[in-house]
Structure 1
Amino acid sequence: MSDTPTTPDRIVDEARRRRSFAVISHPDAGKSTLTEALALHAQVIDSAGAVHGKSGRKGVTSDWMEMERQRGISVSSAVLQFEYSGAVINLLDTPGHGDFSEDTYRVLAAVDAAVMLLDAAKGLEPQTLKLFDVCRSRHIPVITFVNKWDRPGREALELLDEVEQTIGLRPMPVTWPLGVAGELRGLIEVSTGEFTRFTRAAGGATRASAEKVEADVIAAEEPDFWSTAQDEIALLAEIGATFDEKDFLSGKATPVLFGAALSNIGVARLLDALVELAPAPSEREDAEGRPRALDAPLSGLVFKVQAGMDKAHRDRMAFLRINSGRFERGMVLTHGATGKPFATKYAQSVFGNQRTTVEEAFPGDIVGLVNANALRPGDTLYSDDAVTFPAIPSFAPEHFAVARTADAGKTKQFRRGIEQLDGEGVIQVLRSDLRGDQAPVLAAVGPLQFDVVAARMASEFSAPIRLDVLPYQIARVTDEAGEAALSSQSECEVLLRSDGVRLAVFSNKWRMEVILRKFPDVPFEPLLAGTVTD
């Protein structure tokens, strides 16, 4: 444990060093590759795993689950914590696939900034828009990185215009590409005019070499590209696209950088920008709207629970975002949901699937708490002064299936597995007296969640399952009166979620509207939409 005395000033000073952010994007925009490249440039790994694209690459450091390695997509969030340029970086890689929006939503509850990754050829895509809506609702400032500029794509000014017109963020370029997409010659620092030329490493497995080149030299070598870039930068200056910290932090504007994560071009500049521009942790409001001071007694939010990270021990880890105070391993905290004590003897700092024991942590840090069977996403832990942070809402499920054990001799394992996956938030588990515990209903935002459940039930619990899809498409929150009213109706039923919420599920929107008109006095409240636009 640290011998340095804990004082309010030290807690605040340490918090100022923290930069906690998530990378958000549409699938295949290069999010996990960028995450790996950032760690590579921070010199915390020797070589990147992304070599030949999704189908043939090694699993990147942050994609540790077997399914992720097989499919080449991130289906869970991961935490990479490392030091860089005097700052402590907590980098959270989020699922790119829309079926796992709930996991991304939880991660965004734990960060102070986000990197919005755009594909140079595709620009803003549907999942990017949905995730940006979450950032806007949580007042999370966004830095934009235009990726894959070493491949054919759209014009830079066109992409910036799309960002402003579609999501209302004023672009503020920090770097500007020399050369069109697919013919990248290097990057220009907009504020100084300094030009950097890159030589990509073989396969992008190591850092690209960077060389500063005088303006007159590169202007002579690339006269057309240089002239065009200077005209574009001048135009941006005329329309006021210069960096403004206040507009960035208030969510009115976004700094924009260009590069190519797979080639490791522009990644170091992005990492520097995160240290320079991204906000440090600040006071977070509790459930009553009162700010919790950074130097207040220890408090934190559990935003994710994940099992199976250590196959040798089959343990369960809860990820705790420290919101106030100094965390010290071994301290006994209070679990806000139950009022019971929670010991933190087994506290870990996480880097992908690798762990080291953490002795202390400060606001903005992410701490992994091992064997946290009692914790669920959205729980608050605190010491001394009681506090509860706003709950993390569940999304409205749109896919439903009955789960049954495929082996009658595995009933105990089946129950334990379903209970654990429910506690992790992998799936919503619904039950009713009619169906019984042997046939719980699994409710998902997207069908890939069912694949994850089936894979984990078979591999982690040795309890293969059968899934029978139900003909429901929409859910509403109701109460006992709603349950009684729907008992005589067809194409619907009421199921009880594990948190005590009653969900009325309907075969389609038309059928739901017919029933709602029939029972106008019965409450049927919408949940947070999976499209995260509510």
Structure 2
Amino acid sequence: MNALPYPPELLRDVARRRTFAIISHPDAGKTTLTEKLLLFGGAIQLAGTVKARKSARHATSDWMEVEKQRGISVTSSVMQFEYQEHVVNLLDTPGHEDFSEDTYRVLTAVDAAVMVIDAAKGVEAQTIKLLEVCRMRNTPIITFVNKFDREVREPFELLEEIEAVLGIECAPITWPIGMGKTFRGVYHLREDSLLRFAPGEEKRSEAEKLDGIDNPLLAAQFPLEVGKLREDVELLRDASSPFNLDDFLAGRQTPVFFGSGINNFGVQEILQALLDWAPAPLERDGGARQVQPAEPAFTGFVFKIQANMDPRHRDRIAFFRVCSGRYSSGMKVKHVRLDREIKLANALTFMANERVLMEDAVAGDIIGIHNHGQLHIGDTLTEGETLGFKGIPYFSPELFRQARLRDPLKSKQLQKGLQELGEEGAIQVFENLASGALLLGAIGQLQFEVVAQRLQTEYKVDAIFEAADIYTARWLTFPDETTRRNFEREQQHRMGRDVDGNIVYLASTRYNLDVTREKWSKVGFHASREHGQILG
């Protein structure tokens, strides 16, 4: 960071921020860990249970009706709380792979991540994909190996798999003693103390801590386990990598914790590691230059749009990561894409779907901005400077469907619903230029199911999604207007626009795409939306 005279209050407030996401394969216990972090952070008084969907309580971060019914997270929630003089911004992400795009975008807004691994299953497919996205930005990763209250795999085997499959060095911080019914606790290798497992307790007391691997109380209390524990600790100290903060911050090494999220065990250690080791907000690539977090000028970007968080108000909220400066209510900022000034008033902070008016926010904070269609995913706001924060992904869908109404009189509601759901990134929506047909693009089948349910509950539209004759979509760029006009004239039946007006080519087959690219070699066919051009 260069030595500009940054405001000392801003430097202090930025240094207090920790902004992180929790990532995992479905069912590894991510939503449970999210809740327990909030519980230990004092943000909530009562944890819901993820499995007990028949009860009146649901996981705090799962607020959408479909999530309550299915017991999965399909949106990303943002939660802020204070803990030990820090301000913690926790972003829960969808675990289901069909919603991976939403997770990828959330990962652009954080400075660190907690990776949850099911100790019975080890490294799973979605974990691999998510770690690859984190690696693109060298995001520091803390690993929590969960579910040691059950019969699971041997911890040494799990460490070897993490290193081999994910290509990241493991530095064990805690080590489990037993598993399932014989789970006794974990040994903290850095503090040289044993933390005894007491199922279900909300806070760990000092009485549950035994110092020293040679402490005679260990042998007295755990006569069957102490021998293996001492062997494991000796082996770990000789053979495993010691924790190195620089390697962690560079994304090369992950500190590993073992525990049981559902029983609150190991959660405090994760929270402490985030405060002690995870970085405060870092500089960001603003396109024209690197933006420092303690710069006085306000900047940031939209990484998510959510419609109808409160169905009574039919609202739309833009989730905005502050990258520098300080938000204050009523401030005027430049909307870079539209090149005009807008006023930011009544921004929100979140506790899942509970919202509180935000009076003050600095780099690292996530604020919610009431959005009437002017803000899109990837938009940058500044105090006058023309910047564009990089790396908000939008990939070509893998599945396509055509929307057909059961009631033709509801076409306006369908149009509005799909426009809003497309803008928030729940699904990709394309309009065929020749026929006007609305096409939906998704990563996985579950996205279509969720969109159908949301159309019904939020927009009172009953739609059927039928297979579409589309292989893939490619966003187009043209070298000049003449090429553009000629291409549009010849290929109009295969052209469309997305919800933001970017022009796309809708290929029917792989062969069709290859032939068209070969014929129009000067036209750019892009698999990601950042390259698109607005259709005039």
TM-score with structure 1 setting the length: 0.90
Distance 1:208 1:483, change over 3 A: farther
Hey, which bits of structure 1, 4+ residues long, moved more than 6 A? 54-57, 482-489
- Asked if residue 441 in structure 1 is aligned to residue 442 in structure 2, the reply is no
Which structure 2 residues correspond to residues 358-373 of structure 1 after superposition, within 5 A?
358-373=358-373
Distance 1:57 1:243, change over 3 A: farther
Aligned to 1:255: 255
Distance 1:386 1:316 in 2: 26
Distance 1:26 1:525 in 2: 29
Contact 1:200 1:207 in 2 (8 A): no
Aligned to 1:412: 412
The alpha-carbon deviation at position 486 of structure 1 amounts to 9.9
- Code of the residue aligned with 1:198 in structure 2: it is F
The alpha-carbon deviation at position 292 of structure 1 amounts to 3.5
Distance 1:181 1:482, change over 3 A: farther
Contact 1:199 1:209 in 2 (8 A): no
Distance 1:478 1:31 in 2: 38
In structure 2, the residue corresponding to 1:262 is in which secondary structure?
helix
Aligned to 1:465: 463
- More divergent stretch after superposition (209-218 vs 416-425): 209-218
Distance 1:53 1:259, change over 3 A: farther
Distance 2:299 2:50 in 1: 41
The alpha-carbon deviation at position 180 of structure 1 amounts to 3.6
Contact 2:50 2:71 in 1 (8 A): no
Distance 1:319 1:478, change over 3 A: closer
Distance 1:337 1:528, change over 3 A: closer
Which structure 2 residues correspond to residues 48-59 of structure 1 after superposition, within 5 A?
48-50=47-49, 52=51, 58-59=57-58
In structure 1, the residue corresponding to 2:255 is in which secondary structure?
strand
Distance 1:342 1:528, change over 3 A: closer
Aligned to 1:3: none
Residues 498-529 of structure 1: per-residue CA shift (max 9 Å, x gap):
33433333445455446656666654333389
Distance 1:143 1:55, change over 3 A: farther
Contact 1:24 1:128 in 2 (8 A): yes
Distance 1:432 1:506, change over 3 A: closer
Aligned to 1:296: 296
- More divergent stretch after superposition (40-49 vs 126-135): 40-49
In structure 1, the residue corresponding to 2:263 is in which secondary structure?
coil
Aligned to 1:274: 274
In structure 1, the residue corresponding to 2:414 is in which secondary structure?
helix
Choose which of 189, 213, 217 in structure 1 pairs with 2:210: 213
Distance 1:101 1:517, change over 3 A: same
The alpha-carbon deviation at position 240 of structure 1 amounts to 4.5
Residues 198-230 of structure 1: per-residue CA shift (max 9 Å, x gap):
2222xx8x5566711353212233234222222
| Percent of paired sites with the same residue | 42
The alpha-carbon deviation at position 390 of structure 1 amounts to 1.4
- Asked if residue 342 in structure 1 is aligned to residue 342 in structure 2, the reply is yes
Contact 1:77 1:107 in 2 (8 A): yes
Aligned to 2:183: 184
Aligned to 2:14: 15
- Code of the residue aligned with 1:232 in structure 2: it is D
Aligned to 1:243: 243
Contact 1:170 1:254 in 2 (8 A): yes
Aligned to 2:534: none
Aligned to 2:81: 82
The alpha-carbon deviation at position 408 of structure 1 amounts to 2.5
In structure 1, the residue corresponding to 2:389 is in which secondary structure?
coil
The alpha-carbon deviation at position 389 of structure 1 amounts to 1.1
Distance 1:29 1:54, change over 3 A: farther
Distance 1:483 1:81 in 2: 50
Distance 2:370 2:56 in 1: 30
- More divergent stretch after superposition (37-46 vs 458-467): 458-467
Residues 318-371 of structure 1: per-residue CA shift (max 9 Å, x gap):
111111001111111111111222222211110111011111011101111124
Gaps of 5+ in 2: 531-536
The alpha-carbon deviation at position 410 of structure 1 amounts to 2.2
**RMSD of aligned C-alpha atoms?**
2.6
Distance 2:106 2:304 in 1: 7
Distance 1:183 1:528, change over 3 A: farther
Contact 2:50 2:59 in 1 (8 A): no
Contact 1:483 1:494 in 2 (8 A): no
Distance 1:181 1:232, change over 3 A: farther
Distance 1:66 1:11, change over 3 A: same
Residues 37-95 of structure 1: per-residue CA shift (max 9 Å, x gap):
10011122111101646677831110000000001100000001000111100000000
- More divergent stretch after superposition (471-480 vs 216-225): 471-480
Distance 2:373 2:112 in 1: 29
In structure 1, the residue corresponding to 2:304 is in which secondary structure?
strand
The alpha-carbon deviation at position 444 of structure 1 amounts to 1.1
Gaps of 5+ in 1: 1-5, 530-534
Q: Give the aligned length.
A: 518
The alpha-carbon deviation at position 123 of structure 1 amounts to 1.1
Distance 1:96 1:500, change over 3 A: same
Distance 1:451 1:208 in 2: 42
Which structure 2 residues correspond to residues 384-533 of structure 1 after superposition, within 5 A?
384-436=384-436, 439-479=437-477, 493-509=494-510, 512-513=513-514, 516=517, 523-527=524-528
Distance 1:291 1:261 in 2: 37
- Asked if residue 104 in structure 1 is aligned to residue 103 in structure 2, the reply is yes
Contact 2:171 2:253 in 1 (8 A): yes
Distance 1:216 1:511, change over 3 A: farther
